[in-house]
Amino acid sequence: MFYSLTPAPPDPILGLTEAFKKDPNPNKINLGVGVYKDAQGRTPVLASVKRAEERLLAAEQTKNYLPIEGDPAFGDATQALLFGKDHGVVRDRRAVTVQAPGGTGALRVAADFIASTLEAKTVWLSDPTWPNHPNVFQAAKLKTATYPYFDKPTNGVDFDGMMAALHQIPVGDVVVLHGCCHNPTGVDLTPAQWEVVAEELARRNLLPLVDFAYQGFADGLQEDARGLHILARHCPDLLIASSYSKNFGLYNERVGALTLVAGSPAAAETALSHIKRVVRANYSNPPAHGAAIVATVLNDGELKRLWEDEVRQMRDRINTMRHLFVETLQEKGVTQDFSFIARQRGMFSFSGLTPEQVKALRERYSIYAVSSGRISVAGMTEENMDYLCSAIAAVLNSPS
């Protein structure tokens, strides 16, 4: 039975964290996984989260099961965060939300729902995309394909290439879009480009699935939802997989949500009945604690203000690191242009480092990045910047 198995390859992102943990070098830096670090290199529990947990501990009465779709207060808070509580899709009850174990869990529920219920043949992913996207959809027995997204010469969006591909996608297929802070490139669509994409999706009856894992990390909680709002204006049907891992720092609590928007409340309720079957067959009903934290914070004015401020601080620190990184590389004599990194948004940038350079950084300096050249800017601190940029300068000068 098991003796004939050969090892599966390590995960390209979480496998790096495993290797990083084993590395004894005291100067090691993890720019692999998208996890926020503060100025001291720690991944803190947010103060708003701690305060909510204190309240929950005092008030908790039961560990009874949640409903299949999760905590209703969490679902309402999620819709209000995505759209604003007075948005038409919320007011008209055209949106339904199920709590899910993380953004990945939400994607997998979406994938199983699409595979079991819809006619879609293929899920279209940006090139490049988060390496786990194909795994999730293929695990649900869906076919995946890619549309052009990143334009290497300009370090921007290949918008003409993207639109040309969208014109060709068969009617009814699913198109995955990153709501903001595109992972791995850090390059987002402008509002004007979202409009063009949304019109095309609506005209061709393509189903948008928005992966929204970084709300609050680009320009602001509301600003980052602009693309989603534009889609909701044009497309009657919409899926959103959102995550609270990053903006609440709740990585290990696995809190995410799948929100479905339909043309009518009845269509939304019918779709929900299918999603509930998917959840029941996968994990029955979701874990309570993380979602209770999120609902407590978002439904309390004072805690919500504290949290919004904490999100702003995380965003500002990352943006400060983007500029410091570009400046420090220049100070170290690097002539290759990295200025685009200061213009990009979210935790990630596509650095342009080659797989060989990434390997040299890991082997010679214990600096871990994804082999595609994706770096997590959130792992940079004022303290590790000098070591990091000296190492990059050395590797660029002598690759082997």
Q: How far is the CB of 268 from ligand LMR (least distance, A)?
A: 28
For residue 246, indicate whether it is catalytic.
yes
Long-range contacts of 2-8 (CB under 8 A, 24+ apart): none
Q: How far apart are CA 242 and CA 245, in angstroms?
A: 9
Tokens of 232: 């909701």
Q: How far apart are CA 29 and CA 208, in angstroms?
A: 36
Catalytic residue among 237, 246, 276, 307: 246
Applying CB under 6 A, the site for ligand LMR has a residue count of 6
For residue 173, indicate whether it is catalytic.
no
- Between 75 and 346, name the residue whose CB sits nearer to ligand LMR: 346
- Between 36 and 338, name the residue whose CB sits nearer to ligand LMR: 36
- Between 51 and 133, name the residue whose CB sits nearer to ligand LMR: 133
Q: In this chain, which residue has its C-beta nearest to ligand LMR?
A: 34
What are phi and psi for residue 235, nearest 5 degrees? -105, 120
For residue 85, indicate whether it is catalytic.
no
- Between 95 and 373, name the residue whose CB sits nearer to ligand LMR: 373
Helix H or strand E segment including 303: helix 301-331
- CA of 75: how far to CAs of 15, 97, 123, 259, 289, in Å? 32, 5, 26, 8, 14
**Dihedral sign of CA atoms 340, 221, 130, 21 in order:** positive
Q: How far is the CB of 131 from ligand LMR (least distance, A)?
A: 8
- Between 14 and 281, name the residue whose CB sits nearer to ligand LMR: 14
Tokens of 360: 């040299």
Q: How far is the CB of 233 from ligand LMR (least distance, A)?
A: 28
CA-nearest of 232, 252, 228 to 242 is 228
Q: How far is the CB of 257 from ligand LMR (least distance, A)?
A: 16
Check binding of 34 to ligand LMR (CB under 6 A).
yes
φ/ψ region of 322 (left if φ > 0, alpha if ψ in -120 to 50, else beta) reads alpha
Catalytic residue among 211, 237, 276, 307: 211
Give the HSE-up count for residue 332: Cα atoms under 13 Å, Cβ half-sphere: 23
Q: How far is the CB of 213 from ligand LMR (least distance, A)?
A: 6
Q: How far is the CB of 186 from ligand LMR (least distance, A)?
A: 12
- Between 96 and 370, name the residue whose CB sits nearer to ligand LMR: 370
Stretch 178-237 residues interacting with ligand LMR (CB under 6 A): 183
Catalytic residue among 130, 173, 188, 237: 130
Taking CB under 6 A as the criterion, the residue among 13, 162, 353, 395 binding ligand LMR is 13
State the Cα torsion 175-11-107-286 to the nearest 10°.
180
Taking CB under 6 A as the criterion, the residue among 130, 147, 307, 350 binding ligand LMR is 130
What are phi and psi for residue 280, nearest 5 degrees? -60, -40
**Angle CA(71)–CA(36)–CA(101) in degrees, nearest 5?**
25
Tokens 């534009």 appear where? 230
Q: Which residues are catalytic?
A: 130, 211, 246
Residues that bind ligand LMR (CB under 6 A): 13, 33-34, 130, 132, 183
